[in-house]
Structure formats: structure tokens, C-alpha cells
Structure 1
Amino acid sequence: MRQLRLGVAILTMGNRPTELQDLLDSVAKQDLPATHIVVVGNGSPLPPLPDGVTGVSLTENLGVSGGRNVALDELRKLGDLDLVVDLDDDGLLISTDVFSRLAELYADDPKLGIVSFRIADELGRTQRRHVPRLRVGDPQQGGLVTTFLGGGHALSVPMLDRIGGWPDEFFYAHEETDLAWRALDDGWRIRYAPEVVLQHPYTSPTRHAVYHRMVARNRVWLAKRHLPAVLVPVYLGVWAALTAVRGRSAAGMRAWAAGFAEGVRTPCGRRRPMRWRTVWRMTRLGRPPVI
């Protein structure tokens, strides 16, 4: 069997040169070498990179979605690939067999579109929000899911050829869900593989200044882009209620409300509602697209 060709994409804003170098060192130690490695400086200059690593320095921060699309385009220019692995620049591959494990998973399942890594801190702990299931359970238990983690994952290039890349409009927040829903609607599978680990320091999503606005705006865009019309108000109503219950600060709630209104009034790209059989498939996997 032909060995799968794997490309690595890393975004950085130039503020973590030590962590980036450590990550690149861990990539270089993999027992299945990456065919190509691309580092994108997202609105920032790049530090010196090791030989064999391609750097792209952008003058403007294009967000997670835009930056990953730039990395994907650069990887395509460098040569044919079967898989693309996206890694956070402050992550670390603590095992040398991550890429070979991914190759095995994809070789065993031709319809595997996305593999979501387990994100763990230095003590091996996985945050609840880093397990892509509603009922989290044991983070060491893998299986088929309906979404994936942005910090560490693998994408099938044949899948990307069919469904397209990241949603540029989103900039940051829910871009993984947008891609996941398109993959599921095209018949691809998403697997949470806890044996594939990216070590990552403990973080809170609210560390990003635009978190509340982007989360709300992009949640509305998800519904407008992908849900059958009857499910749009249900999905948005459920999330509005959950946000109201979970809200901890008046400033955060005001930013959320502004983002929600922005999502309602602004265009979000082409609308292509998922099929009802995809809704049923997601429901059977434990996460119907109303929550």
C-alpha cells in the first residue's frame, strides 16, 4: 500500500517563537515524516524557520479561517498530498507516532474525512470543552462525532477537494463546525481519536478580545448557511437561552447581543442547507443540529 503523503499547516502571530520552534522540533521527530510543512505568519513577520519548512508572512491578520486557507493553498502548490494536519503554534506532539497513527486511521477508512486529536495539558488533563461530544464522558474514549477541535486535527485532501476549505468570512470561532457540517453532509466521517494527542497549555476561549461577538455572529451564520429553514429558529433559540443562563458578565452579554444582531443583518456566504438525512445522522451520533 502506498504511504500517505502528509502536509502540516501552522499559524502563528509571531508572539510564540520558542513554542513554535518546540512544535517544529516535535514534527521533525515523527516516525512518518511530513511531506511538506508550512508556517503562516498571520499579520506578522516570521522568526527563522528550520530547513525544509516553508514560511508565508502575511501583512494582514486574516483570522484562523483565512490563515488556514493560505496555508492550504501553499501546501497544494508544493505538491500532491493526502492529508493536511493543522496544529496550534503553542502545541506539542509528545509522541513520535502521531503521523503514522493518522496514516493507519485513514488507510482503514476511505470515507474518513476528519480526525480530531485529544488536547491535553502538561499533566495529561483534557478540558471538558476539548471533547467533541455533548455528553463528555471519558476523554480517553474515542469514536465518531459531529465536530472537531481546531488546535489539532487532520483533514482528508480528497474531502477538501469536494467540500472546499475554511469559511473565510468567519475569521475566528465556529469555523470547525462549518467545515464539519459540510463534511457530514457530503458523506464523510469525523473521528475523535484520543490516542492522537496534542499537548497544549490550559487556556480559556475568552482570552480573545473578540470572543463573545464572533461566537454569536458566527453561530447565526452557521444556521443561515447550513440548517433547514425550520431548524434555524430552534437552533438559535436554544443557544440564546444557554448563553443567557451561562452569562457571567454584562459586558460579555452586550458583546454577544451585538454579534447576534450582526449575524442576522449581514451576509454570510452561500446558503446550502444540509439534507434531512444528515440531520438524522447527526442525531444518531448524539448531537442533533439544534444544540
Structure 2
Amino acid sequence: MPLPCVDVVLLTLNDRPAEEAAAQATLLAQTGVDLRICVVGNGCTPAIVPTAARALTLPENLGIPAGRNVGAHALAQDGRPAEYLFFLDNDATFPRPDILARLVAEAEQHPRAAYVQPRLTGPDDTTTPRRWIPRLRSGHPERPGTITTMTEGVVLIRRTAFDPAGGWADAFFLYHEGLDLAQRLWDQGHTGWYAAGIRMHHPLTQPTRHALFRRLAARNRVWVAYRNLPAPLIPAYLFVWTTATALRAVRGGGAQESLRGFREGWAGRRRQERRPMKWRTVLRLTAAGRPPLV
């Protein structure tokens, strides 16, 4: 019986060679799957490329979503596309050699799930920050279940769902592209699955380490709403997130950057592809525990 085929896309800026070497080593150690790998240099020539992997050099940094799309498209051109795509951050590692095979098995057990998400932890195999838990109720990260968003850098997605959804939102550059894609996958009639018993590791970094975080996060929230929500829900969604952002700014600062992002998002919203989800999808997301207002 042939092994399940998984196309893996890994982006690099050549900025963390030790972490990337570890990520690739644990990727190459995966068993029970047939791997095809594409390493995409986002504005650089990849310095670390496994034997037989495809390497692409982009002339400029297009951002994470666009870079992933380039890698996924390139792999689709190399013969018959794999049934599954796996998107891997270049500082994430597989603690066991059967992780990808187990994720594929979870996908087979949950055929309605367009994507399967492992539990992401720090290198201690235990610590899971709230932002890495792809559901609102984050008190029990070890509990599996249906999810409505995703952690983008370690996720298995069915190719037959990814392509019709349009892939990642190129223009986002960074932040919230997982929420956007998850909503589009749900609108196709799919779900997502959190395989909490399957763990992967990632350094315990903070998104605020990036200078662009607050501006891009706010901008992309506007674009998620414009791209995916029925028109009556857009003002409510933006009110909820503007209020939440303002409250966070009281504690952590960044109000000016966030306000700039909201303004930029609103001014540029019409350049985004609008595919408002069906009201049935709104109800399904709400029933799954995350109404598309939060």
C-alpha cells in the first residue's frame, strides 16, 4: 500500500540557521509518509536545503502568506499534487518521527475537516500559550475538538480544500491569514480539527517582538471582515475588535500603531477579494463555539 503523500512548504529568511537546521532535520526524520519539500527563500536564496527538495528564491520578501502560496503552487507543478499540504515554520520542530503520519491519520478519521492542527508547545513539550490554542476556550490545551481558526505555521491542509479557497491571503503579509483561510474553508462546508494529542515544538516567542505587529494585526482584522463577513456583520465585528484593541492598548501601549492599522485596512479594503460567507456558515461557526464576531 503506498504511503500518503504530503507536500511541505517551509519559508526562510536565512535569519535563524540553527533553528532551521533543527526543523529540517526533524522533518526529514518523519516516517510513514512520502514527503515532497519546497524551501522558499523570501527575498533570499535558501541557505539550507535538504537533498531532493525544491528550492525557490523570491527577489523580495513577499510576506508569509504569499511565500507559502508560491511554495504550494510550485509543488503542484511537480507532477501530481499531494493530497495534503503541510506548512512548517522554520523554527518549529517535530519531537517524534511519526507526527505527520499521525496528523494524516487524524484527517482520515475526520473527513469533514479541511485542516488538522497539532498542539503547539514550547520546547518543554508542555507550555502552550493561549494564542496557540485555536479556540476561544483555552483553559485545556490538551483537549481535542473541532476548531474554527488555525495556527498557521504548523498545519496540515487538504489540497482539494486549499486550492478552491484561494490559498492564503497574499496581501496580509503577516498575521491573521490563518483566521481568513479557516473562515473560507468553513464556508466551503468543511471544518477544522485540533489534534491536541499530537504535539509540536516552537520557541516561546512573543508576536510583539515584531515592530509591525500592532499595525498589521489591526489592518488585517479589517480585511478579514471585509473579505469574509456578510455586510451587516462587518460594523459589529470591527466594533468588537476596536474595543478589544483599545483595552489592550491601555495595558500594553501601541494605540497609535493599531489606529494606523485600522485606518489602513479600511482605506485598502476594496483591493481585497470579497467572498462573504453564507449565513449558514455564520450559524455553523457560532454552533462550533466561535461566532464570527470574536
Determine if the TM-score, normalized by the shorter chain, exceeds 0.5. Answer: yes
The alignment status of 1:277 with 2:284, answered yes or no, reads no
The equivalent residue for 1:218 is 220
Report what 1:68 is aligned to: 68
8 A contact 1:119–1:151 mirrored in 2: no
Residue 242 of structure 2 corresponds to which residue in structure 1? 240
Give 1:197 shift: 1.8
Which residues of 2 match residues 110-121 of structure 1 at below 5 A? 110-121=111-122
Is the CA contact 2:229–2:277 (under 8 Å) kept in the aligned structure 1? yes
Alignment match, 1:135: 137
CA displacement 1:144-196 (0-9 Å, x = unmatched)? 01001012111100102321211111111111111100000001110111122
- SS of 2:103's equivalent? helix
Alignment match, 2:28: 28
What does residue 17 of structure 1 align with?
17
Alpha-carbon distance between aligned partners in 2 of 1:268 and 1:149, rounded to the nearest angstrom: 25
Change (3 A) 1:53 1:2: closer
Pick one of 155, 158, 163 that aligns with 1:161.
Answer: 163
Could you list the per-position Cα deviations for residues 177-232 of structure 1 after superposition, in whole angstroms to 9, with x for gaps in the alignment? 11100000001110111122220110111111111111111101111111111111
CA distance in 1, matches of 2:137, 2:48: 43
Q: For the Cα contact (< 8 Å) 1:5–1:83, is it kept in 2?
A: yes
For the pair 1:59 / 2:59, whether they are aligned, the reply is yes
How much has 1:29 moved relative to structure 2?
1.1
Letter in 1 for 2:129: Q
Aligned residues between the structures: 290
Tell me whether 32-41 or 182-191 shows the greater mean CA deviation: 32-41
Q: What is residue 5 of structure 1 aligned with on the other side?
A: 5
8 Å contact kept, 1:234–1:290: yes
Separation in structure 1 between the aligned mates of residue 292 and residue 37 of structure 2, nearest angstrom: 35
- Kindly state the Cα deviation for residue 47 of structure 1 after the two structures are TM-superposed: 1.0
2:103 alignment counterpart: 102
* Secondary structure class of the residue paired with 1:169: helix
Q: Unpaired runs of 5+ in structure 2?
A: none
Q: Residues 75-114 of structure 1: CA distance to partner in whole angstroms, max 9, x if unpaired?
A: 1122320001111101110011111112212222332201
**Corresponding residue SS for 1:270:** coil
Q: Secondary structure at the match of 1:163?
A: coil
Is 1:144 matched with 2:146? yes
Structure 1 residue aligned with 2:289, among 266, 286, 290?
286
Matched-pair contact (CA < 8 Å) for 2:103–2:195: no
Structure-2 change in CA distance of 1:48 and 1:185 (3 Å): closer
Looking at structure 2, the residues matched to 262 and 48 of structure 1 have their Cα atoms a distance apart, in angstroms, of 36
| Overall identity of the aligned pairs, in % | 39
Say which SS state the counterpart of residue 197 (structure 1) adopts: strand
What SS does the aligned partner of 1:35 have?
Answer: strand
Letter in 2 for 1:68: R
**Cα distance in 2 for residues equivalent to 1:162 and 1:279:** 19
Scaled by the length of structure 2, the TM-score of the pair is 0.95
Name the SS for the 2:195 alignment partner: strand
In the alignment, structure 1 segments of 5+ residues that lack a partner are none
Q: How many angstroms does 1:52 deviate by?
A: 1.6
Question: Which stretch has the larger CA shift, 83-92 or 260-269?
Answer: 260-269
2:6–2:84: 8 Å Cα contact kept in structure 1? Answer: yes
